[in-house]
Amino acid sequence: MKILKKKRITRFKEALIQTFFMTNATLAVMILVGIFILLAWSAIPAFKEINFVKFMTGVNWDPTSPVKEEYGILSMVVSTFMVTFGALVIAIPIGIGVAAYLSDVAHPRTREIIKPVIELLAGIPSVVVGFLGIVLFGPLIAHLFHLPNGLNALNGSVLLAIMALPTIISISEDSLKAVPRSYQEASLALGASRWETLVRIKIPAALSGIIASIMLGMGRAIGETMTVLMATGNAPAFPHGFLSSIRTMTATIAIELGEVPYYTTHYYALFGVGLVLFIITFLVNLSADLILHRYQEREQ
Partner 1 sequence: MKIKNFILVVLVGLGLILPGQIKADQKMLQVKGSDTMVNLVNVLVEEFMERNPKVQLAILGGGSGTGIAALINGTCDIANHSRPIKEKELMMAQERGLRIRTFIIAIDGLSVIVNAHNPVEKLTLSQIGAIFRGEITNWKEVGGQDLPITLYGRQSNSGTYVFFQEHVLGNKNYSPKMNRMNGNAQIVEAVSRDKSGIGYVGVGYVVNEKGEVFSGLKVLKVSNSLDEMAYSPLNKKDVEDGLYPIVRPLFQSTIGKPTGLIRKFIEFEIGPEGQEIVSREGFFPIGKKQQELNAKNLEN
Which residues are near partner 1 by CB under 8 A? 60, 62-67, 75, 134, 139, 148-149, 151, 229-230, 233-238, 245, 247, 255-256, 258-259, 261
Q: Give me the least distance between CB of 93 and partner 1, in Å please.
A: 31
The amino acid at residue 203 is: I
Q: Which is nearer to partner 1, 174 or 256 (CB)?
A: 256
d(CA 226, CA 246) in angstroms, rounded, equals 14
The amino acid at residue 85 is: F
Helix (H/G/I), strand (E/B), else coil: 163: helix
Q: Give me the least distance between CB of 223 and partner 1, in Å please.
A: 20
Q: Give me the least distance between CB of 85 and partner 1, in Å please.
A: 22
Q: Give me the least distance between CB of 51 and partner 1, in Å please.
A: 20
Residue spans of beta strands (DSSP E) within the chain: 61-62, 70-71
Q: Give me the least distance between CB of 48 and partner 1, in Å please.
A: 19
Start-to-end C-alpha separation, the chain = 45
d(CA 234, CA 274) in angstroms, rounded, equals 17
Other C-beta atoms lying within 10 Å of the C-beta of residue 233: 20
The amino acid at residue 121 is: L
